[in-house]
């Protein structure tokens, strides 16, 4: 991180945005005035363009200059594409890198597309190697090639290492800003060493103790450095049993360790015991937020986050896979109904009631799936639990089937004055709710066993089964009991 203006109070971000929007709109107004036909060409260039026009841009530039990179990122995300690129042009090249790191993937793409190879290289050169690794997937290969060549050997190695880990591994969250010390010194020596820094890396809450071969031997919490007498040896103060991470640990597990043990930083140690980097809580917070947003997007069938100002075409493509999948399952459910056309023709009431049977079991099954996905994520489900939980979910569904199925049965009876129809309704609801619970539990457990994320796709599969199953059960029972 470079030293950027200090952040202000939260409420101000919206105000910053409004200010920037106002400047951009005034600029646009001048632009449009300048292009009006009534004004002689010379005059508009001379007067309007040069004075007013430039004045607004200067003001905009100064405003942006005063903001924290995260705030600028926020503002860029909230601006439509033309205004976004105009604002982006007003930002000093040295700050481009730190802002690119902060914006969302979708918006980053739009900014990078507007930059030349030289600009991208300059932006990347302002960043730490772990930050360059974060940008790498979005940069053109030629630029990454240039960046590699521009780095000193040691950093080239770091970049290669940071880029070698999958996105969901600790290695991808890691940075290299560590302060390391030796164990055979006094606190006084450590303090003197720290005073040689201009600034300690952000989130330094502990110093890492290594031997001469860079093997990690423990950590000295700053806390202990501060409360003990300077002449003390550090050896007895070293914590040997702090959480240490491996670069190939799952990022999700590291995040849980941060949550559970209230960490600010954690050392990353490779299998040979060498200290290779550290993970800090701010990266973990970003990871947690991104993960939970992705879960929400996936649940709604969006492939990835959308830039709200992206083109219709681009947004539509983001949503197609899901819609196509749902259309297929809907076609299938439609054919299940089609198999009972004769029954429906003779007993039209079945057509009016069948969506109730399908819908409620889908909702109830979804509740089961959500509970199971959450418990799987928390690591609370074992082989011995699973059977017990299945029985419990089936019992809940049986209860719901009797209660709500009973209500639906009475509803059906009151509408059509047919006792048998009411009985068919209640039985179908009960059976389909049981199916929903069974499948709602089976799907995420199976996906988990296959090593896949149960949060993705469980609900489409579930609804496909409760829809088709519901139609089949209800219309099947109707055919058996009502057509005689």
Q: How far is residue 44's CA from residue 31's CA, in Å, rounded to a whole number?
A: 10
State which residue, 46 or 80, has the beta carbon closest to its own copies: 80
Element (H, E) at 196: none
State which residue, 43 or 286, has the beta carbon closest to its own copies: 286
Report in angstroms how near the CB of residue 319 gets to its own copies at its nearest. 5
- DSSP 3-state assignment of 366? helix
- Write out the E strands in 80-205: 180-181
String of DSSP letters for 148-172: HHHS-HHHHHHHHHHHTS-TTBHHH
Report in angstroms how near the CB of residue 273 gets to its own copies at its nearest. 13
State which residue, 296 or 483, has the beta carbon closest to its own copies: 296
State which residue, 15 or 43, has the beta carbon closest to its own copies: 15
Report in angstroms how near the CB of residue 334 gets to its own copies at its nearest. 5
Q: How far is residue 456's CA from residue 164's CA, in Å, rounded to a whole number?
A: 25
Q: Smallest Cα–Cα separation from 364: which of 302, 431, 297?
A: 431
- Which residue in the block uniquely carries the two structure tokens 């009475």? 410
What b/e sequence results for 35-50 when a residue is b if at least 16 CB atoms lie within 10 Å of its CB, and e otherwise?
Answer: eeeeeeeeebeeebbe
Output the furthest CA–CA distance in the chain (Å, rounded): 98
Report in angstroms how near the CB of residue 23 gets to its own copies at its nearest. 14
State which residue, 247 or 301, has the beta carbon closest to its own copies: 301
State which residue, 186 or 367, has the beta carbon closest to its own copies: 367
Report in angstroms how near the CB of residue 2 gets to its own copies at its nearest. 13
Q: Which two tokens stand for residue 76?
A: 């860029």
Q: Compute, in degrees rounded to 10, the torsion defined by CA atoms 380, 384, 389, 392.
A: -140
Report in angstroms how near the CB of residue 140 gets to its own copies at its nearest. 28
State which residue, 113 or 415, has the beta carbon closest to its own copies: 415
State which residue, 23 or 121, has the beta carbon closest to its own copies: 23
Report in angstroms how near the CB of residue 214 gets to its own copies at its nearest. 20
Contact 393, 441 (CB under 8 A): yes
- Which residue in the block uniquely carries the two structure tokens 């109707």? 478
Report in angstroms how near the CB of residue 173 gets to its own copies at its nearest. 14
Q: How far is residue 235's CA from residue 220's CA, in Å, rounded to a whole number?
A: 9
């Amino acid at each position: 991180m470079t030293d950027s203006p200090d952040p202000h109070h939260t409420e101000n971000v919206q105000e910053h945005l409004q200010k920037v929007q106002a400047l951009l709109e005034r600029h646009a107004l001048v632009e449009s005035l300048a292009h009006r036909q009534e004004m002689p060409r010379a005059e508009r260039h001379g007067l309007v363009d040069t004075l007013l026009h430039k004045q607004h841009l200067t003001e905009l530039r100064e405003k942006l200059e005063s903001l924290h990179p995260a705030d600028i990122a926020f503002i860029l995300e909230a601006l439509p594409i033309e205004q976004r690129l105009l604002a982006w042009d007003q930002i000093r090249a040295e700050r481009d890198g730190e802002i690119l790191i902060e914006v969302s993937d979708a918006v980053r793409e739009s900014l990078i597309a507007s930059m030349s190879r030289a600009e991208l290289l300059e932006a990347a050169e302002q960043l730490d190697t772990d930050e360059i690794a974060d940008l790498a997937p979005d940069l053109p290969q030629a630029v990454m090639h240039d960046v590699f060549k521009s780095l000193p050997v040691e950093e080239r190695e770091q970049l290669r290492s940071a880029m070698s880990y999958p996105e969901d591994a600790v290695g991808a969250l890691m940075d290299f800003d560590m302060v390391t010390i030796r164990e055979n010194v006094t606190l006084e020596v450590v303090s003197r060493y720290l005073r040689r820094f201009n600034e300690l890396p952000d989130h330094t809450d502990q110093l890492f103790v290594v031997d001469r071969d860079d093997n990690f031997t423990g950590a000295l919490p700053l806390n202990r450095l501060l409360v003990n007498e300077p002449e003390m040896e550090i050896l007895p103060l070293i914590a040997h049993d702090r959480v240490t991470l491996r670069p190939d640990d799952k990022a999700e597990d590291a995040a849980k360790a941060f949550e559970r043990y209230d960490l600010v930083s954690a050392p990353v140690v490779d299998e040979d015991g060498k200290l290779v980097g550290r993970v800090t809580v701010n990266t973990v917070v970003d990871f947690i937020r991104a993960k939970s947003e992705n879960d929400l997007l996936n649940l709604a069938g969006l492939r990835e986050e959308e830039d709200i100002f992206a083109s219709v075409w681009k947004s539509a493509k983001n949503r197609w896979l899901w819609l196509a999948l749902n259309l297929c399952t809907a076609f299938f459910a439609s054919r299940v109904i089609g198999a009972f056309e004769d029954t429906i023709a003779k007993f039209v009431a079945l057509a009016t009631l069948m969506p109730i049977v399908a819908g409620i079991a889908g909702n109830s099954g979804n509740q089961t799936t959500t509970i199971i996905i959450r418990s799987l994520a928390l690591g609370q489900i074992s082989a011995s639990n699973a059977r017990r939980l299945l029985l419990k979910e089936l019992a809940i569904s049986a209860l719901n089937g009797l209660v709500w199925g009973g209500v639906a049965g009475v509803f059906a009876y009151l509408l059509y004055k047919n006792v048998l129809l009411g009985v068919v309704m209640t039985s179908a609801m009960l059976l389909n709710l049981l199916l929903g619970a069974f499948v709602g539990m089976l799907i995420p457990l199976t996906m988990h066993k296959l090593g896949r994320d149960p949060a993705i796709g469980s609900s489409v599969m579930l609804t496909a089964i409760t829809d088709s199953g519901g139609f089949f059960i209800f219309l099947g029972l109707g055919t058996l009991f009502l057509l005689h």
